[in-house]
Amino acid sequence: MRKRRDREFEQFFCSSKDQVFRALLVVTRDREIAEDAVSEAYTRALALWETVKQHAAPSAWVARSALNYVRSAHRVTARMSSSENLPEVPVSDDPPTDPALLRRLLALPERQREVVALRIVLGLDTKQTAELLGIAEGTVTAHLFRALTRLQQELSEIAPKEAWL
């Protein structure tokens, strides 16, 4: 029984860890904090695996746990206010992430980063994102719209310049 549980959890971990980590990296803008939070969240998930695996979206449960860990520890405040700590490269090249896009994504306001991380990076739907963040579905949609509009404007401004290089 325990071996089966361990195998199930290992499969879940391997299939979801990069996505959850990328989402937390976008939210926290700090690789070390994201690593700590994700590690803590997966440790909790393993301890509660029988409950977590019944969740409609176990990766959302882990992401929520990681976000709670970050918020309760109050470890992000100083690092989040500085753009000097923004990572230059994505966590993994699967799928590849444009460094210019990543820099602009990490520069978004906190709530917009959270929504983009959960809706796009982690692939949650609007309802799951709203529940995870404790906000209304309309608020999720508004933040996503603002974030994508800003990213589109900023990237379209640099695209013509880079085409000539």
Q: Quick one: three-class SS letters along 76-104?
A: CHHHHCCHHHCCCCCCCCCCCCCHHHHHH
- pLDDT (tens digit per residue) in 86-132: 444 444 545 556 777 788 888 999 999 999 999 998 889 999 999 98
- How many structural domains comprise the chain? 1
Supply the CATH number for residue 74's domain. Answer: 1.20.140.160
Q: Which domain holds residue 40?
A: 2-163
Please report, as a single letter, which amino acid is at residue 82.
S
pLDDT of amino acid 78: 47
pTM reported for the whole predicted model: 0.71
